[in-house]
Structure 1
Amino acid sequence: MEKITVETVVNAPVEKVWTYWNVPEHIKNWAFASSDWHAPYADNDLKKDGKFKTTMAAKDGSFSFDFEGTYTNVDVHKKIEYVLGDGRTVQIGFETEGDTTRVVETFDPETQNPIEMQRGGWQSILDNFKKYTEEN
């Protein structure tokens, strides 16, 4: 199955983008697709073979799930690669462009939801990350 790619350009240097992407206290402020969701829990051991887990939940308590996996490659300020619990892989690139940073995420789609829905959800989370990082 074809991989899905989403990307954004964050108006911040790569050092800040990297920190906001990886520190749990920041992750809890952006790792959800819409304002009626939140991320009440995040844990991140950012190293090869390290594990991460973020709980994404509807604010009304109707639904929640854990987004979790294991890192297979971490190249500081450049690249993160991991495998999710279901075996799908994700690659995230951080490209410095002057005072901005391009973040490119490429991932294996799951089989339960349409490709466009998955792309839209991941893009919404990435857009939320951009907004949070630029405003804080």
Structure 2
Amino acid sequence: MITIKTTVNASIEKVWEFWNKPEHITKWAFASPEWHSPRAENDLREGGKFSTTMAAKDGSMSFDFVGEYTLVKENQAINYTMGDGRKVEISFKETPKGVEITENFDPESENPEDMQRGGWQAILDNFKAYAEAN
């Protein structure tokens, strides 16, 4: 598994809402300024599914990031299985400096792990910036 982390200077309630509500997901779920997320759907419950469209702003490419929740503990943890069968575990922990978010995910086999770690970390950093600014 690959692990990434950040600490968001916000309340656990705000972090949970911004992480899970589609109107917020579309504001942060992309890795670089050339990309955006024009659409997000989220059925946040065990057995529920989610789908987020990530697209290049120039229209050259897009894909849907999809999965199904296997664990949802409000303000604490989310686990899901991606469309290709890989597993993701996310924990949310309140600390004196804010909410520590830790993501563990199975790597895919097409790209180097450092590249995958960098892409996922960039998205997590976008989330941190968005949650702290709004």
- TM-score w.r.t. the length of structure 1 is 0.97
Q: Is the 8 A contact 2:7 2:97 kept in 1?
A: no
Confirm whether residue 80 of structure 1 aligns to residue 78 of structure 2.
yes
Amino acid at match of 1:45: D
The Cα shift of 1:98 comes to 2.8
Point out where structure 1 has 5 or more consecutive residues left out of the alignment: none
The alignment partner of 1:102 has SS state of strand
In the alignment, the residues of structure 2 paired with residue 41 and residue 98 of structure 1 have an alpha-carbon distance, to the nearest angstrom, of: 34
The partner residue of 2:15 within 14, 17, 23 is 17
Across the aligned residues of Structure 1 and Structure 2, the Cα RMSD in angstroms comes to 0.6
In the alignment, the residues of structure 2 paired with residue 25 and residue 13 of structure 1 have an alpha-carbon distance, to the nearest angstrom, of: 18
The alignment partner of 1:68 has SS state of strand
Confirm whether residue 107 of structure 1 aligns to residue 98 of structure 2.
no
- TM-score w.r.t. the length of structure 2 is 0.99
The Cα shift of 1:99 comes to 5.6
Amino acid at match of 1:40: P
Q: How does 1:39-54 map to 2 (within 5 A)?
A: 39-54=37-52
In the alignment, the residues of structure 1 paired with residue 83 and residue 128 of structure 2 have an alpha-carbon distance, to the nearest angstrom, of: 26
Deviation above 4 Å: which 4+ runs of structure 1?
none
Confirm whether residue 5 of structure 1 aligns to residue 3 of structure 2.
yes
- What is the percent sequence identity of the aligned residues? 60
Q: Which residue of 2 aligns with 1:129?
A: 127
Amino acid at match of 2:59: G
Confirm whether residue 92 of structure 1 aligns to residue 90 of structure 2.
yes
Amino acid at match of 1:84: M
